[in-house]
Structure 1
Amino acid sequence: MTVEPFPQWLRPPPGGFVAEDLDRLPDLPPNTELIDGSLVFVSPQAQFHALAVSMFETALRRLAPTTARIRREMTVTLDRNQRPEPDVIAVRAERAGGPELTTYVADDVLLAVEVVSPESRSRDRERKPQLYAKAGISHFWRVENVDGRPVVYVYELDPASGVYALTGIHHDRLKLTVPFEIDIDLTEIDRL
């Protein structure tokens, strides 16, 4: 039996990893995130997660105004030690970037969407919303799996406190006017 060598990048440097390391470290697994200076590796996706991400990506592309672009699984550099990868984001069209772009900055992002997985529950429910709010991302959706259907918790940044306020919990239909006009039939997941 051959033992594979231990990749040197698994050992964090003093002070932790920084945002640029995600572009420099060789052979990182796909969808690696940087949270609090630590590399976070994504577990294999469950079917609900994959279907929900596809549903939101497709619906938001259809609904987005010309001033916005929808991206799937792109990192957002929030600061030196924070580069999470939301499942779906809406970014300002003028900052959508070219084919070599590997990350956005918080000012580019209009909306961050996280579909909660069992292994990322604490990060998606607690840590990532804290980070997105602190970075000034105005809109955040947390999508939960409730009996195979998405339930969307919609948050908006309160500029006075700098934290997210829950503005609604949506079960069968997601109808909003911010960050742009949105009307998504959440039961569509049954047909995917």
Structure 2
Amino acid sequence: MEPEALPDWVIPPPGGFTADDFLRMRGLPRHTELIDGSLVFMSPQRRWHSRVINLFWVQLDRQAPEGLRAEREMAVRLAKRQVPEPDVMVVTAEAYDEGPATYHLPEGLVLAVEVVSPDSEERDRGTKPAKYAAAGIKHFWRVEEDEGRAVVYVYELDPGTASYVPTGIHHDRLKLTVPFDIDIDLNAVGSRP
């Protein structure tokens, strides 16, 4: 009996995978990302992480004005070797309805949200925000856990430096006017939206 052939993606090519390679791959584990040409596999989500994603996805979609939609865990083709998967994002209605079926392009994103997990701290705090900023995504939020509570770090793109600058840290309530009027009770993590 011959051993089963390994999938093509097990061994990366010299220089790493490209976004085109990545988007053609089949059989990858759920929520695999392409960062700097390398495949990054996500560990299973903890309940807290999943609940925060659900809360933000539902509330952002509910509160978004006409012309914007919230989406969760969808790939974003940022650059030649970059295809991360934000936990939640707000996209234009056009990108939501008419864009590619399996990923978004950065010009369709208004906001990227990352919910930090123990295995993603460095990527969510440094690597991915830098790549989102370089791609021109105007708004980025990082959600951290503090003793079971959600803390949201809000950033906006400085076009002069093409990097994010912090605009606030929110503990109990996230109330903003950009990218649109938003009011989310952060204590609702774990309760029904």
TM-score (norm 2): 0.94
Cα RMSD (Å) of the superposition?
1.6
Q: Give aligned pairs, total.
A: 191
SS across alignment from 1:184: strand
SS across alignment from 1:142: strand
SS across alignment from 1:80: coil
Partner of 2:43: 43
Displacement after TM superposition at 1:21 (Å): 2.2
SS across alignment from 1:20: helix
Q: Which runs of 4+ in 1 moved over 6 A?
A: none
Partner of 1:34: 34
SS across alignment from 1:96: helix
Structure 2 unaligned spans of 5+: none
Q: Which amino acid aligns with 2:120?
A: S
Partner of 1:81: 81
Moved more, 182-191 or 14-23: 14-23
**Counterpart Cα distance in 2 of 1:98 and 1:107:** 13
Displacement after TM superposition at 1:26 (Å): 2.2
Alignment of 1:76-115 (within 5 A): 76-98=76-98, 101-115=101-115
Partner of 1:189: 189
**Counterpart Cα distance in 2 of 1:148 and 1:34:** 30
Q: Which amino acid aligns with 1:136?
A: G
**Counterpart Cα distance in 2 of 1:124 and 1:163:** 15
**Counterpart Cα distance in 1 of 2:145 and 2:4:** 37
**Counterpart Cα distance in 1 of 2:66 and 2:55:** 20
Deviations 1:65-123 (A, max 9, x none): 11101110001111110000000000011221359611111111000000000001000
On the 8 A contact 2:51/2:190 being kept in 1, the answer is no
**Counterpart Cα distance in 2 of 1:8 and 1:183:** 45
SS across alignment from 1:187: helix
Partner of 1:124: 124
- Identity, % of aligned positions: 55
Structure 1 unaligned spans of 5+: none
**Counterpart Cα distance in 2 of 1:100 and 1:179:** 24
